[in-house]
Chains A and B, each alone.
Chain A
Amino acid sequence: MSPEDKPRVLVIDDEDSLRIGVKRLLELEGYDVDTAENGTEGIRKGSSGEYDLAVIDLKMPDIGGIDVLKHLREKKPNTVYFIATAFASYDTAVQATKMGADGYIPKPFTSEELYHHLENGYKKRKLIIEAERLRQDRERRLLEVHFERTRLNTIINSLADGVLVVNKDGQAVLYNPAALKYLQLDEINIEEYVINKLPPEISVIINQYLYTKNYNPNSYSAQVELKPEHQLFAEVTCSPVPHPDKSLAGVVTVIKDITEFKRLEHLKSQFVSMVAHELKAPIAATLGFINILTNEKLKVTDEQKLDFLNRSSSRLTGLLNMVNDLLDMSRLEMKTNVREIKELDVKEIIQDVINLFQFEIEKKKLKVDFIITEPVMKLNADQTEIQRLVTNLVSNAIKYNREEGKIDVNLACSSNYLVIKVKDSGIGLKEQEKNKLFSEFFRAKNEHTKNIHGTGLGLSLVKKIVDSYSGKIEVESEYGKGTEFSVHIPLKKR
């Protein structure tokens, strides 16, 4: 026997000679023997140590063998116990067995008898240990499965996408809270028939799986409007769940929120249709004038001819401006423009822009004041961008002004910022219009603005330029009175 295989035996007997004799005999046979000279010591040793076998004397002065057995069996149920006694009788044997003894050794015994008992006992002990190991193993596995399941449930419940699994009878077998949310259901009961609770776009797909004889391994998707007016859009994907034999077990439905994507898509198509319409209008108008001018049947005076040509020219200029706006916009958005940062004379830029608009200013009989509160101001920036910024602000101030109105342009320095203010005495903004002011294609729509042409891109361009210099833009406006834009651009410290 190898040392680790050495069976450990506890011998509890008040008779010194027997204790010592048994110990010696067993050690000769390769047992590891411990002894206790009375019941009390026996209980102490037996319950604290780990023994394979225990031989307990039935009659001891302090505690009887049966009581010792009772104690130890409770504490160490896997040890194999023998009761040894000189008062062997049928009754005591039965009683000992009832108390949980595994064997009964009548005294006096021969060494062979002892070996025989203990050998069998040790075999039994090994079986008990093996059974115990298997039991624990199984328990651990069950625990693992349970843990795995809980973990999987937690993961599925934490998904942002909705998950709903139905069996081939259309009954719900698994779902997560997101599915409830997207399907706007208060509850789904497991094993409840749910197909009729689902939006038709989804139930149609699931039913195709459920009512088709042959197993179809493909997944199908649909975009479903779950809440009206673009509030909630979902992409729903249904996939079959197969049994190992490739027959249909059920269908798993994944619901993904694509509301934001749809919103962008909608914005994009709005953008395209808006651009197309805005680009077409001036072309149609110009083409119309040309058709009239070239139509020999129409009587057109020289004065009318000149007017039509001027109007065509102005529509085409507008078209060109819009194309430029669109190009600038896309360059700023894609960040493809190469900037030439140099020291700029902002005062000169502003003056140039005002001069450029002289025709429009005079036409509307506007009074323009350009006030500089700090004479020397140099800004490091790209000239084209700053020009465009000022142009858009001044052009708006002209367009949305009243006849004989006023424009104040102010150039100043506040701490580390260059401040450009453009104030008009025009139609002003309503409170709800202010928030949308810088968004693309927003144009204030009211009785004053219907004859004003614009792309709705001017201010969003300004905002994009200001943002790209880490600046800020503020707007103050009163409906019917006028609007003031303040642009703050950081000055580089020297």
Chain B
Amino acid sequence: MKHIKRILLVDDDVDLLEQTKMLLLSHGYEVETADSSEEGYKKFLEYKPDAALIDLMMEEHDSGFILSYKMRKDPHGKTMPIIMMTSATYITNYKFDVQTNEEKEWLKCDAVLNKPVVLEDLIQKLDSFTK
């Protein structure tokens, strides 16, 4: 798989956006940010990132899924790794993750990260896509 260098980060919490960006920059990634799903889709088309990190709950509870669905419809987004960030597991006590290809296809993402994002987990997920 292609080497991951350029990452698109979408989160409506500007503080978290900046923090995650800092973490990624410190690991040598290039980062583009967007603070809404609309902005996120625009940046995705312009920037054509190697991977996208999307917050699940933004304007609506499922904004992240809707955004990733739209990205998957685009030829570039079809194979681009998408990581969904969510704090939902803490609310519903339901840990969801994607393992099988069927789950990946259904959720339109390749991995799920719990928020707050732990740097090591994030790097490990990103590395796993390049192997």
Interface membership of chain B positions 83-103, coded 1 if the CB is closer than 8 angstroms to chain A and 0 otherwise = 000010011100000000000
The number of A-B residue pairs with CB atoms under 8 Å apart is: 54
Complex contact B36–A281 (CB within 8 A):
no
A276 vs B89: C-alpha distance in the bound complex, in angstroms? 11
Complex contact A280–B13 (CB within 8 A):
no
Complex contact A292–B19 (CB within 8 A):
yes
Q: Does A451 belong to the interface (CB within 8 Å)?
A: yes
A272, A281, A292, A450: which contacts B59 (Cβ < 8 A)? A450
Q: Does A284 belong to the interface (CB within 8 Å)?
A: yes
Q: Does A213 belong to the interface (CB within 8 Å)?
A: no
Known interface pairs A276-B91, A277-B91, A285-B15. Does A445 touch B59 (Cβ–Cβ under 8 Å)? yes
A272, A288, A291, A295: which contacts B15 (Cβ < 8 A)? A288
Interface size in chain B (residues, C-beta < 8 A):
23
Q: Does A193 belong to the interface (CB within 8 Å)?
A: no
A200 vs B80: C-alpha distance in the bound complex, in angstroms? 43
Q: Does A129 belong to the interface (CB within 8 Å)?
A: no
A295 vs B23: C-alpha distance in the bound complex, in angstroms? 10
A280 vs B56: C-alpha distance in the bound complex, in angstroms? 14
Q: How far is the CB of A265 from chain B (nearest CB, A)?
A: 16
Complex contact B116–A450 (CB within 8 A):
no
Q: Does B32 belong to the interface (CB within 8 Å)?
A: no
B15, B20, B117: which contacts A315 (Cβ < 8 A)? B15
Please indicate the chain B residues that have their CB under 8 angstroms from the CB of A287 in the complex: 116
A459 vs B90: C-alpha distance in the bound complex, in angstroms? 28
Complex contact A281–B13 (CB within 8 A):
yes
Q: How far is the CB of A303 from chain B (nearest CB, A)?
A: 14
A289 vs B14: C-alpha distance in the bound complex, in angstroms? 12
Please indicate the chain A residues that have their CB under 8 angstroms from the CB of B91 in the complex: 272-273, 276-277, 280
Closest residue of chain B to A284, judged by CB?
B116
Interface members, chain B 1-37 (any A CB < 8 Å)? 12-16, 19-20, 22-23, 26, 35-36
Q: Does B57 belong to the interface (CB within 8 Å)?
A: yes
Q: Does B42 belong to the interface (CB within 8 Å)?
A: no
A315 vs B15: C-alpha distance in the bound complex, in angstroms? 9
Interface members, chain B 42-66 (any A CB < 8 Å)? 57, 59, 61
Complex contact B13–A292 (CB within 8 A):
no
Complex contact B15–A450 (CB within 8 A):
no
Please indicate the chain A residues that have their CB under 8 angstroms from the CB of B14 in the complex: 451
Complex contact A277–B35 (CB within 8 A):
no
Complex contact B26–A288 (CB within 8 A):
no
B26, B90, B119: which contacts A280 (Cβ < 8 A)? B90
6 A–B contacts, CB within 8 A, in A order: A272-B91, A277-B57, A288-B15, A311-B15, A450-B12, A450-B36
